[in-house]
Amino acid sequence: MDVFVKKSIPAIGQCSIFTPKFASLGDIRRHKILRQNMAVQEMTFSLEEIRNTAKEIIRSAPARALCFYGEMGAGKTTLIKAIVKELGGSEAQSPTFGLVNEYEDSEGGLLGYHFDFYRIESEEEALDLGLEDYFSQDAWIFIEWPEKIPSLLPENCIPVYIQVIDDNTREIRLS
């Protein structure tokens, strides 16, 4: 059984970091090296606190590829918009109908790509839009509905799970 140490981060409201004190051999085999060194973070936040939450995600993510899991209306796009804004990017919007949006930084350089795979029927559709080319860029990658393309996800993709607590409150877990 794993033992966890709970730490608070007061700057973003209710937040705890759970760092494995001991990892089992099975856990090590199941997780990529990148994730072995990452503490699991859980944060509860309101819409008013989303900017600080976005800053904490940027600060703590060990990679620039983030996969957002959550039910319809959980706030995946809203959180991605806040992250893009904190990174100095252009106005973020959901790419639901176009599947991908490209964001630029304040100087016109490439900041990242935002994918929404809700409407695709197969992984082949994602490949058809040149997914591998996007993933090979030196840019942030934000993926909504990554469960639609499980075998195509970048190896360094950090899962971000979003759960609705109430109309104004969300809980997220980065692992």
Specify if 11 maps to a domain.
Answer: no
For position 89, which CATH number holds?
3.40.50.300
User: What residues make up the domain containing 159?
Assistant: 48-174
Specify if 72 maps to a domain.
Answer: yes
Containing 133, the helix (H) or strand (E) segment is: helix 131-135
**Token pair of 134 as six digits:** 């996007």
Closest to 166 (Cα-Cα) out of 65, 46, 57, 19: 46
What pLDDT, on a 0 to 100 scale, did the predictor assign at position 22?
A: 29
The whole-model pTM stands at 0.76
Specify if 7 maps to a domain.
Answer: no
> Up-side HSE of residue 161: CA atoms within 13 Å toward CB?
8
| CA separation, residue 61 to residues 3, 38, 56 (Å) | 22, 8, 8
Specify if 10 maps to a domain.
Answer: no
What pLDDT, on a 0 to 100 scale, did the predictor assign at position 96?
A: 61
What pLDDT, on a 0 to 100 scale, did the predictor assign at position 175?
A: 81
What pLDDT, on a 0 to 100 scale, did the predictor assign at position 25?
A: 32
Task: Please give the tally of structural domains in the chain.
Answer: 1
What is the mean pLDDT of each successive set of 10 residues along the chain, which is 175 residues long?
31 34 32 46 90 93 94 94 92 73 91 94 93 93 96 94 94 91
Specify if 32 maps to a domain.
Answer: no
What pLDDT, on a 0 to 100 scale, did the predictor assign at position 98?
A: 74
Specify if 18 maps to a domain.
Answer: no
Specify if 119 maps to a domain.
Answer: yes
